[in-house]
A and B are shown apart, each in its own frame.
Chain A
Amino acid sequence: MDSLRLDLTVATRSFDVELSLDVGRETVALVGPSGAGKTTVLRAVAGLVQPARGRVACGDDVWFNGQVDLRPEQRSVGYVFQEYALFPHLTVSKNVTFGGGNADGLLDRLGIAHLANERPHALSGGERQRVALARALARKPRVLLLDEPMAALDPHTRAEVRAELHDLLRELALPTLIVTHDFEDAAALANRVGVIADGRLRQLGTPAELLGAPADAVVAGFAGANVLAGDAKQAAGALTEIRLDDGETTILTADTMQGRVSLVIYPWDVSLSRATPEDSTLNHLHEEIVSVVRVGNRARVRLRTLTAEVTSASADRLDLRPGERVVASFKATATRLVPRA
């Protein structure tokens, strides 16, 4: 069984990227801010940049290890470039068969058979992405590399393409590395997600593990959490009290840690109301609404210190508007403490 094994140090202009990772017949997503060195990792696997040191191996074949350094054309990778990098002067079918192989089955499988004689400039973003995928798969690569496969798509086609790509990747069962800056894309497509920042792998785990137990503030932030900086000290009843850096807000958490910490609270664990609710919730912040953004049936409500995500229905019921004051409530058990980034 083929698996992709990396243990790499690659120099970029401003820092070194270090990564150690085994990818079996699964999809691993590397997420992180742009400029974190994610694309550099893909390029090193493909042989397009030379690592400073380390090892790249696929199954029993060594692609790079200091002595060996196979050229890109000698490796077996299917690479989908960020903006697809289709050959603009060739038709779709010539693009797909450029490296050999037969296009017919793939074009059918990806629903682009009717575009076989078109040139790339005549295609929509979603169609180009499929052509790029078909081209990457035509040579039956042993490893699949996808660089921001969704970034060039408009939000409308994004969800649809994401679902199709998910099914395709499961069906192919190839060692697949995806680079994305979007945690949602990563969580939807990948079995495991690695968060890279400043050239280091901060945490690698299933999407649920990253959400449930983020290793640090960067990981939590990428998973979509509110990350609030403050000082922790022991409070009554096995609780910890966090005084936030704004000097006014105090939050109680069931997690334990002392000193400088980051408090993690997910937007969907925050509920909003007009008056302080009469329940067991320990944390109530009286705050002004900065903005309300609706996405599908959810509404993201940005307050002064944190962001809450509620259903559109409750946003309507509460008649939430920027400038008005609301109570944001969350349980002490819904918060986590991580070391200060």
Chain B
Amino acid sequence: MRRLFAVVVGFATAFAFAFLLLPVVAIFARVPVGHLFSQLGDRVTRDALLVSLKTSAIAHACVLFLGTPAAYLLGRRRFRGRAAVLTLVELPLVLPPAVAGIGLLAAFGRFGLLGGQLNALGIRIGFTQAAVVLAVAFVESPFYLRGAIAAFESLDDDVLAAARTLGAGPWKVFLRIALPLAAGGLGAASALALARGLGEFGATIIFAGSLQGVTQTLPLAVYAQFDQNFDVALAISALFVLVGAGILIGLKVAGWIRFGSISPLRPAASTSS
């Protein structure tokens, strides 16, 4: 029976591994790698790459800039309704991205909730690069917040308290203690959110459209190209695989370095008397 169990478990693992890896391998196997990367010079690809880099960079900067203090508050403070807030923050994770796009349209679109106010200010968001930024930020921020809240939550209460007894005000505690100690977790969350943002498709196509050179990001270009020039679609896909793999490997290596050198000083915070 032990033997049988080992066989079943081994087979399931091998099957799952092959199933997950096969499509990835197929992207590189269809055409020679050299040809693949020459397709990246294509006009459509270059435009999409620029749009993706620009919108992702802006969206990601906003997510980090606003998300980090928010995660600090949610991770360190206990208040009434905190559990509800944490749940709502994670809601976009389980929404289909297309629903997120509809939601953004309903909120910021011309006839949306804030449409009137935005119109009065002469601001049009739908189907502009600003819409891409909003869509990307909306979809990636829960990934960042989740990881960042967990990183701040796991900080040792006494270490932060020690800083306060040493005369540090809230800014100094945040900048000199909390931020550096949570840096590993924040970096990991940031990388995952960035990867998710780069791959954003559903919300963007509904809220921003797919206008080459304006709102057409790399994933949208893949979709636009796959029935026109499949090789271009393959090339962009290959790029995504490499970037994704790079982020994952980077996270692993960063994890090893972190736990190798600055090992956390103490186990779980003890709560005595």
Q: Say whether A48 contacts B165, CB under 8 Å.
A: yes
Of B40-48, B86-94, B154-162, B230-238, which stretch is located at the interface? B154-162
User: Using Cβ atoms and an 8 Å threshold, which residues of chain A touch B180?
Assistant: 89
Chain B, range 55-106, C-beta contacts under 8 Å to A: none
**A4 to B264 CA separation, bound complex (whole angstroms):** 35
Check: A99 CB closer than 8 A to any chain B CB.
yes
Check: B181 CB closer than 8 A to any chain A CB.
yes
Q: Say whether A88 contacts B262, CB under 8 Å.
A: yes
List 12 A-B residue pairs with CB atoms under 8 Å apart, sorted by A's residue number: A34-B272, A46-B165, A48-B164, A73-B165, A82-B158, A82-B272, A84-B265, A85-B161, A87-B159, A89-B180, A89-B262, A119-B262
**A66 to B273 CA separation, bound complex (whole angstroms):** 24
Q: Shortest beta-carbon distance, B163 to chain A, in Å?
A: 7
Residue of A nearest to B265 (CB): A88
Check: A230 CB closer than 8 A to any chain B CB.
no
Q: Say whether A98 contacts B168, CB under 8 Å.
A: yes
Residue of A nearest to B266 (CB): A83
Check: B122 CB closer than 8 A to any chain A CB.
no
Partner of B165, one of A33, A72, A89: A72
Check: B34 CB closer than 8 A to any chain A CB.
no
User: Using Cβ atoms and an 8 Å threshold, which residues of chain B touch A179?
Assistant: 273
Check: B241 CB closer than 8 A to any chain A CB.
no
User: Using Cβ atoms and an 8 Å threshold, which residues of chain A touch B176?
Assistant: 98
Of A37-45, A164-172, A208-216, A218-226, which stretch is located at the interface? A37-45
Partner of A72, one of B164, B181, B269, B273: B164
The 6 residue pairs across chains A and B that have the minimum distance between CB atoms: A99-B166, A85-B158, A72-B164, A88-B265, A79-B165, A38-B273
Looking at A88, A121, A139, the one whose CB has the most chain B CB atoms below 10 A away is A88
**A37 to B271 CA separation, bound complex (whole angstroms):** 11
Interface string of B242-273 (1 = CB under 8 A from A): 00000000000000000000111110011011
Chain B, range 157-185, C-beta contacts under 8 Å to A: 158-159, 161-169, 176-177, 180-181
Partner of B265, one of A48, A120, A139: A120
Check: A339 CB closer than 8 A to any chain B CB.
no
Q: Given A73-B168, A88-B265, A89-B181, is A81 in contact with B161 using a C-beta cutoff of 8 Å?
A: yes
Interface string of A84-103 (1 = CB under 8 A from B): 11111100000000111000
Q: Given A73-B168, A83-B266, A88-B262, is A36 in contact with B163 using a C-beta cutoff of 8 Å?
A: no
Q: Shortest beta-carbon distance, B79 to chain A, in Å?
A: 15
User: Using Cβ atoms and an 8 Å threshold, which residues of chain B touch A88?
Assistant: 159, 181, 262-265
Q: Say whether A83 contacts B158, CB under 8 Å.
A: yes
**A181 to B167 CA separation, bound complex (whole angstroms):** 29
**A148 to B158 CA separation, bound complex (whole angstroms):** 14
Partner of B167, one of A34, A86, A100, A148: A100
User: Using Cβ atoms and an 8 Å threshold, which residues of chain A touch B161?
Assistant: 43, 46, 48, 72, 79, 81, 85
Check: A51 CB closer than 8 A to any chain B CB.
no
Q: Say whether B166 contacts A98, CB under 8 Å.
A: yes
Check: A175 CB closer than 8 A to any chain B CB.
no
**A39 to B270 CA separation, bound complex (whole angstroms):** 11
**A47 to B163 CA separation, bound complex (whole angstroms):** 13
Residue of A nearest to B267 (CB): A83
User: Using Cβ atoms and an 8 Å threshold, which residues of chain A touch B163?
Assistant: 87, 98
User: Using Cβ atoms and an 8 Å threshold, which residues of chain A touch B177?
Assistant: 87
**A138 to B181 CA separation, bound complex (whole angstroms):** 23
Residue of B nearest to A46 (CB): B165
Check: A304 CB closer than 8 A to any chain B CB.
no
Q: Given A85-B161, A87-B159, is A39 in contact with B272 using a C-beta cutoff of 8 Å?
A: yes
Check: A284 CB closer than 8 A to any chain B CB.
no
User: Using Cβ atoms and an 8 Å threshold, which residues of chain A touch B167?
Assistant: 73, 99-100, 139
Q: Say whether B162 contacts A85, CB under 8 Å.
A: yes
Q: Shortest beta-carbon distance, B173 to chain A, in Å?
A: 9
Chain A, range 51-86, C-beta contacts under 8 Å to B: 71-73, 75, 77-79, 81-86
